[in-house]
Amino acid sequence: MPRGGAHFSSEELVRVLSHYNIGIVHEVRPLTGGNRRAPKVVITSERGKFLLKRRPRGNDDLHRVAFAHAVQKHLAKKGFAVTSLMSTRDDKNTVLQIGNHIYEFFKFVTGVRYDGSSEATVDAGRQLAKLHKYLAGFSHEWKPSTDSFHDSKTVRRHLKTVGADKMAGPNKRMQSTAEALMILYNGSSVHVNQFGFDSWNQQVVHGDWHPGNMLFSEGRVVAALDFDSIRIAPTVVDLANGMLQFAIVGDRPNPADWPDYFDQGKLDQFLNGYRSMAKLGTSALHSLVDLMIETIIAEAVLPVAATGSFGHLSGLDFLKMILRKANWLNKHRQQLTQTIEG
């Protein structure tokens, strides 16, 4: 297997592309980045430029994929910035299954990655609010998961796995880190529940709104990507995750060198973009810091529990960094909440 993970064979590409009416193919170029188990190629043909993706095993349930496509089509009709799904020639279906694999084919969108500018940050928040507005009341015959990072038995189980003797090792540093994360996670879960989480309206949300899942042009979002994490939840879950993802500071190779603090300017910009399009109740605003603590712990512990590492990074070093950042959020909750309210 070539470097970069899963890939398409020539025979597979010919078989898949034969289902689409795109004319003569001029060029096929691999696209790196994202999930290494989900190969992607850019196809240039006489009828345009396209992106072909093979979904990774374990993330290819037909009903779930069909639901994600229904959401994207709904958003596209509303004029929201999503990539256009291509239908097969004969079945007019946006989901193509061949053997044990599921494929998705999109019109290619030209854009750039997030550049950290205030304009891009504000618009990312604004577009999330639009997505929530357009998906309010959306229904489908298949119902997605209602699980989220909040008050999750799965997150707690993984924290226990990370802290167990088998993974913690003889020096117990992983164990103490996992225990400290568990205390923070449980405390934030209790706070959010006290604000009335279970009584808040639920709807379809994106589930993974972060800079890497968007393309930009001149400070505006031109395409929202990756609808694999769609679920039913209060919209504030998406908002808290977005605030965390855009405000986190960690641009050094070693997570031990990442600072504790967050970029409060970007946090404000993202939130202000969202609030320019949507109103938030007092309880939801007060819950945001605790939801940020929950999501940063949840996102980090699941892969570490599964593999002992976070990507190519040491699992222990990464979780120690997460603990520092979660502690910073907890310590500065009053200041941050005042900023959020303002």
For 198-248, how does the pLDDT look when each residue is reduced to its tens digit (9 = 90+)? 999 999 999 999 999 999 999 999 999 999 899 999 999 999 999 999 999
Mean pLDDT within 7-28:
95
Within the chain, which residue ranges are assigned CATH 3.30.200.20?
Answer: 10-107
Q: How far apart are CA 257 and CA 251, in angstroms?
A: 9
Average predicted confidence (pLDDT) for the chain = 92
pLDDT exceeds 70 at position 60:
no
> Which CATH code fits 118-341?
3.90.1200.10
- Do 148 and 231 touch, CB atoms closer than 8 A? yes
pTM over 0.85: yes
Give residue 92's pLDDT band: very low, low, confident or very high (50, 70, 90).
very high
Amino acid, res. 197: F
Amino acid, res. 329: L
Within the chain, which residue ranges are assigned CATH 3.90.1200.10?
Answer: 118-341
Phi, psi of 200 (to 5 degrees): -75, 145
DSSP string for residues in 263-319:
-HHHHHHHHHHHHTT----HHHHHHHHHHHHHHHHHHHHHHHHHHSEETTEEHHHHH
Phi, psi of 18 (to 5 degrees): -65, -15
Amino acid, res. 267: L
Q: What DSSP state is assigned to residue 57? A: T
Tell me the percentage of the chain whose pLDDT exceeds 90. Answer: 79
CATH superfamily name and code, 10-107: Phosphorylase Kinase; domain 1 (3.30.200.20)
The beta strand positions in the chain, using DSSP E, are 25-30, 40-45, 48-54, 96-98, 101-107, 203-205, 214-217, 220-224, 231-233, 309-310, 313-314
